């Protein structure tokens, strides 16, 4: 793989370029493109993500500082700020969205054997969204509130390896619960969600398709207790009940029994009430499953800190979505490289090294194995070790 190639070029070799070319043809991405094609756009945007560029001028200046190396990075087009701006405005964002989805499939296979720490046969997913606030006068298409604009990134995170199994970028008006209509529940899998996703008709669809959910109950919840199970109160459990909904609409939407687990967090003293349709796992596991949902919050925090999705290079909807999806694709390429090269570093440490060495001429595995802030185990505890 090395053969004298630059670090950036070696990383890009993990991308399935045959899939990328097929998508470019599908959406006519290179139609009338003479000097700056979709591949050039993706490589420039991936470079911006890896090296923390802040603007199109910043990307142009950094790349043109090494003009003799652009060809070896795979960039064949004329790198200018106007070419980048025009590409982000006009090239269909679905090219990069579907390309990222293909990388998701590859990454999930590589991380399928990751240990979640829970003795469960099915896959565990955490569903949530994050909001990126924007200026309404600059992004009028991103409706959110009367005086504000925003985009939402809805993510279904496979907790084995923190790999997104599903992502959707929408304006701020799309309510989280509507995402359940877009998911095809996987039989035997667990879907962990917060109270924003409590819609009994949609939860019943998950149940009918043979999947399981764990969520928090909204107040007030009208129900009747059918039976109770003894619990270990020394670990904070208060009750484990089999219940039936008694509200007119809720009973009609979810006619089957539910499991209600009440838990008091010994650290904060806060009482939490969980609902699930799985009666086979222990009440302690139900609590642990909901606690694992915090990984999706950490995922959002992490990508906002380490990828360029808070500051956009263009103002149109197409430009914003192009940037978000290329950021996701770059994240996945680094995750794939980490697994295939068996790199012992965390993803954070890898990105720190790659950010300052894209023009270096050194084998990628050697670079990431012999150096890095995380190799001696002294990486800050405040940094999220997602992978």
Per DSSP, the residues of 139-197 read: -TTSEEETTEEEEEEEEEEETTTTEEEEEEEEETTS-GGGGGGT--PPTT-EEE--GGG
Residue 336 lies in a domain: yes
Residue 352 lies in a domain: yes
Distance, in Å, from the CA atom of 290 to the CA atom of 33, rounded to the nearest integer, reads: 49
pTM of the full structure: 0.86
Report the candidate in 123, 239, 250, 264 with the shortest Cα–Cα distance to residue 191. Answer: 123
Kindly state whether residues 328 and 247 are assigned to the same domain. no
Residue 82 lies in a domain: yes
| Structural domains in the chain (count) | 2
On the 0-12 / 13-18 / 19+ scale of CB atoms within 10 A, 241 is: buried
The residue that leads in pLDDT, 122 or 199, is: 199
CATH of the domain at 263: 2.20.25
Average pLDDT over residues 133-150: 87
Distance, in Å, from the CA atom of 24 to the CA atom of 329, rounded to the nearest integer, reads: 16
**Percent of the chain at pLDDT exceeding 90:** 65
Kindly state whether residues 268 and 232 are assigned to the same domain. yes
Average pLDDT over residues 123-134: 91
Distance, in Å, from the CA atom of 201 to the CA atom of 204, rounded to the nearest integer, reads: 5
End residue of a domain, out of 285, 301, 332: 285
Our CA dihedral for 146, 148, 149, 150, rounded to 10 degrees, sits at -120
Residue 86 lies in a domain: yes
Report the candidate in 356, 362, 335, 359 with the shortest Cα–Cα distance to residue 347. Answer: 335
Kindly state whether residues 264 and 319 are assigned to the same domain. no
Kindly state whether residues 271 and 317 are assigned to the same domain. no
Coil, helix or strand at residue 346: coil
Q: At residue 35, does pLDDT exceed 90?
A: no
Kindly state whether residues 321 and 248 are assigned to the same domain. no
Q: What is the pLDDT of residues 56-99, one digit of tens each?
A: 999 999 999 999 999 999 999 999 999 999 999 999 999 999 99
Residue 216 lies in a domain: yes
Kindly state whether residues 276 and 329 are assigned to the same domain. no
Kindly state whether residues 215 and 272 are assigned to the same domain. yes
| Helical segments of 232-282, H only | 248-253
Number of neighbouring beta carbons within 10 Å of residue 168:
15
Kindly state whether residues 279 and 317 are assigned to the same domain. no
Q: At residue 208, does pLDDT exceed 50?
A: yes
H/E segment holding residue 330: helix 317-340
Kindly state whether residues 239 and 276 are assigned to the same domain. yes
- Lowest-pLDDT range, 72-81, 170-179, 183-192, 300-309? 300-309
Q: At residue 327, does pLDDT exceed 50?
A: yes
Kindly state whether residues 38 and 89 are assigned to the same domain. yes
The answer to whether the bond into 238 is cis (omega within 30° of 0) is no
Q: What is the pLDDT of residues 367-377, one digit of tens each?
A: 988 754 444 43
- According to DSSP, the residues that pair with 155 across neighbouring strands are 128, 167
88 is in which domain, residue-wise?
Answer: 7-97+313-370
Residue 268 lies in a domain: yes
Residue 384 lies in a domain: no
- According to DSSP, the residues that pair with 215 across neighbouring strands are 275
- Lowest-pLDDT range, 48-52, 115-119, 241-245, 295-299? 115-119
- According to DSSP, the residues that pair with 258 across neighbouring strands are 243
Residue 351 lies in a domain: yes
Kindly state whether residues 213 and 280 are assigned to the same domain. yes
Report the candidate in 118, 144, 122, 119 with the shortest Cα–Cα distance to residue 133. Answer: 144
């Amino acid at each position: 793989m090395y053969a004298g190639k630059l670090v950036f070029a070696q990383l890009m070799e993990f991308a399935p370029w045959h899939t990328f070319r097929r998508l470019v043809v599908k959406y006519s991405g290179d139609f009338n493109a003479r000097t700056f094609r979709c591949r050039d756009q993706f490589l420039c945007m991936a470079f911006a993500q890896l090296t923390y560029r802040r603007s199109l001028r910043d990307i142009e200046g950094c790349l043109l500082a090494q003009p003799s190396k652009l060809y070896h990075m795979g960039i064949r087009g004329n790198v200018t700020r106007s070419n980048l701006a025009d590409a982000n405005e006009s090239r269909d964002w679905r090219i990069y969205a579907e390309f990222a989805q293909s990388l998701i499939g590859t990454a999930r296979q590589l991380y399928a054997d990751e240990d979640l720490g829970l003795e469960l046969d099915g896959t565990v997913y955490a569903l949530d969204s994050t909001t990126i606030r924007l200026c309404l006068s600059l992004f009028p298409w991103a409706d959110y509130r009367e005086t504000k604009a925003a985009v939402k990134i809805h993510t279904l995170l496979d907790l084995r390896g923190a790999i997104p199994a599903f992502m959707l970028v929408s304006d701020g008006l799309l309510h989280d619960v509507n995402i359940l209509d877009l998911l095809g529940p996987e039989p035997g899998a667990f879907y962990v969600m917060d109270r924003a996703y409590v819609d009994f008709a949609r939860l019943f669809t998950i149940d009918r398709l043979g999947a399981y959910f764990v969520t928090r109950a909204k107040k007030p919840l009208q129900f009747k207790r059918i039976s109770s199970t003894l619990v270990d109160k020394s670990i904070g459990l208060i009750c484990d009940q089999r219940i039936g909904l008694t509200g007119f609409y809720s009973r009609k939407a979810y006619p089957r029994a539910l499991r209600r687990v009440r838990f008091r967090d010994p650290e904060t003293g806060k009482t939490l009430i969980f609902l699930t349709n799985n009666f086979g796992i222990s009440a302690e596991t139900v609590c642990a499953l909901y606690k694992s949902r915090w990984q999706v919050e950490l995922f959002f925090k992490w990508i906002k800190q380490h990828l360029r999705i808070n500051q956009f290079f263009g103002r149109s909807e197409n430009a914003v979505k192009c940037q978000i999806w290329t950021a996701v694709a770059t994240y996945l390429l680094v995750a794939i490289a980490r697994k295939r090269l068996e790199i012992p570093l965390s993803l954070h440490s890898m990105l720190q090294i790659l950010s300052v060495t894209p023009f270096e001429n050194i084998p990628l595995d050697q670079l990431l194995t012999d150096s890095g802030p995380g190799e001696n185990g002294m990486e800050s505890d405040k940094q999220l070790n997602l992978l």
